[in-house]
Amino acid sequence: MKKHIASILIAALAVLSFSSCTKDNGRENDGQKTQFNAVSERQITVGPEAATHVIRYEIVNPTGASVTAEADAGTDWISDINSTSAYGEVYFSVSVNSGGESRQAGLTLSYEGITLDFTVTQEAYSSFSIKVLEDECTSGKIAWEVTPPSEDLTYVSMIADKATWDTFGSFEEYIEYDLEYFREQAEVRNLSFEEFMEKYVLRQGKEHLSADDLTPGTDYIVYAYGMNRTGELLAGMDYTGASTLPVEQKDVTFELTVEQDFPYMTISAVPSDDEVRYLMDVYSGTDSPEVIVESYQEMLDEIITLLPLLGGGSVYDYFMEVSFQGPGTTDQLMIPEAMEFTAFAVAIDVYTGQITSGASTLVCEIDFGF
């Protein structure tokens, strides 16, 4: 009997000893070991854009407890960590990284005392490349080329006069100023903000851009920043300076002839410089060339103001259509209701509508044809 009891004790001790030697970090659940395993790689690399990402895991013999997740203390670029919306997945969001260098933080998942540590590395955007195309810049136009840091990045690229640009204290303030303008324009066109952004604003890939109808001899800022259709900033702003050329006066004269067929007339001109673009018209009266130029410029300025109401088109497009180069003849013009009138020709800057020469004039008397 004693020998039998001793055998039982020895066998029990052996079982206890075996159990102690095989114990691990799993958790017993009704006799079944619970395991918490990573499915995603422990080293996670994400792009520089603001986006939502996922970490995947598996649980063997779950207990019904919840998975929790948290980033390293002080990590402000990882947010919206969601460990409960879908089994086997933890979602987290990152903000845009436009700081020029990659950044890294830890993210720890926990389940029933078991932890899984992940390292999240976010790449940095390189800057936009913005090149002003000097050969294409004029008195009323600035052209530039934008190369984004990523072919997939959608972005905004526009121009602002430097005087306005300098009134803003930060890039963030200026971007909000842009966004307010986009919202207003979307409303005017009866479009949603997202539709307006996709149709009129956002660009992708390398672009050759230009802006017309600018003020001559003025400093401007050309800029670009990453953004999506909802107005979320994807990449920081980069910019460069550019300037329109001043309007240059032309040393040109015009030899004029007039043909009358009352009540109509035509004016023909032969310029001393065939490269110059010019306008011809008729002035009611015989004032000095200086008065005629001043009066005619006022009329041209009014036309420029009304162009958006006359079907749009740029100042350049309009004056290229109505101006002459080399010897030219007008369509029929009405003879003014004055016994004497003045035919004239002036050089014109087609980018701005500014007169760039003195007026060559020819005073005429009405020929009634009898």
For CATH 2.60.40.10, list the domain ranges present in the chain: 25-122, 129-243
Residue 200 φ then ψ, to 5°: -120, -20
pLDDT at 30 over 90: no
Q: Can you tell me the distance from the alpha carbon of 93 to that of 53, in angstroms, rounded to the nearest whole number?
A: 6
What's the maximum distance between 2 C-alpha atoms anywhere in the chain?
A: 157
Residue 9 φ then ψ, to 5°: -65, -40
Token representation of residue 45: 């690399």
Q: Can you tell me the distance from the alpha carbon of 165 to that of 172, in angstroms, rounded to the nearest whole number?
A: 12
The rounded mean pLDDT for the chain is 90
158 and 227 Cβ atoms separated by less than 8 Å: no
pLDDT at 168 over 70: yes
- Report, as an integer, the average pLDDT of 9-27: 42
Q: pLDDT of 246-282, one tens digit each?
A: 999 999 999 999 999 999 999 999 999 999 999 999 9
Pick the CATH number of 254-365 from 1.10.3470, 1.10.10, 3.30.750, 2.60.40: 2.60.40
pLDDT band of 22, cuts 50, 70, 90: very low
Distance of CA 304 to the CA centre of its chain: 27
**What is the three-class DSSP state of 328?**
strand
Residue type, 139: S
Q: pLDDT of 193-209, one tens digit each?
A: 999 999 999 999 999 99
pLDDT at 19: 40
pLDDT at 13 over 90: no
Q: Can you tell me the distance from the alpha carbon of 207 to that of 36, in angstroms, rounded to the nearest whole number?
A: 49
Cα separations (Å) of 335 from 254, 261, 289, 293, 297?
A: 20, 9, 19, 19, 20
pLDDT at 31: 60
pLDDT at 28: 57
pLDDT at 86 over 80: yes
Closest to 155 in 3D by CA, of 231, 207, 226: 226
Q: Which residue has the higher pLDDT, 291 or 17?
A: 291
DSSP string, 155-217: EEEEEEEHHHHTT-SSHHHHHHHHHHHHHHHHHHTT--HHHHIIIII-EESSEEEEE-SPPTT
Q: Can you tell me the distance from the alpha carbon of 75 to that of 93, in angstroms, rounded to the nearest whole number?
A: 12
pLDDT at 169 over 90: yes
pLDDT at 125: 76
Q: pLDDT of 296-338, one tens digit each?
A: 999 999 999 999 887 768 899 999 999 999 999 999 999 998 8
Q: Can you tell me the distance from the alpha carbon of 344 to that of 292, in angstroms, rounded to the nearest whole number?
A: 8
pLDDT band of 29, cuts 50, 70, 90: low
Closest to 207 in 3D by CA, of 133, 310, 312: 133
pLDDT band of 1, cuts 50, 70, 90: very low
For the chain, the distance separating the N- and C-terminal CA atoms, rounded to the nearest angstrom, is 157
Pick the CATH number of 25-122 from 3.40.50.920, 3.40.50.720, 3.30.565.10, 2.60.40.10: 2.60.40.10
pTM attached to this predicted model: 0.65
Q: Can you tell me the distance from the alpha carbon of 206 to that of 105, in angstroms, rounded to the nearest whole number?
A: 33
Closest to 106 in 3D by CA, of 117, 90, 93: 117
| Share of residues in the chain with pLDDT > 70 (%) | 91
Token representation of residue 282: 């008729």
pLDDT at 323: 98
Closest to 52 in 3D by CA, of 86, 90, 106, 84: 90
Q: What is the β-pairing status of strands 233-243 and 203-204?
A: unpaired
pLDDT at 26: 53
Pick the CATH number of 129-243 from 3.90.1150.10, 2.170.150.70, 3.30.1380.20, 2.60.40.10: 2.60.40.10
pLDDT at 4: 43
103: Cβ–Cβ under 8 A, 6 or more apart, which residues? 77, 97, 121, 122, 124
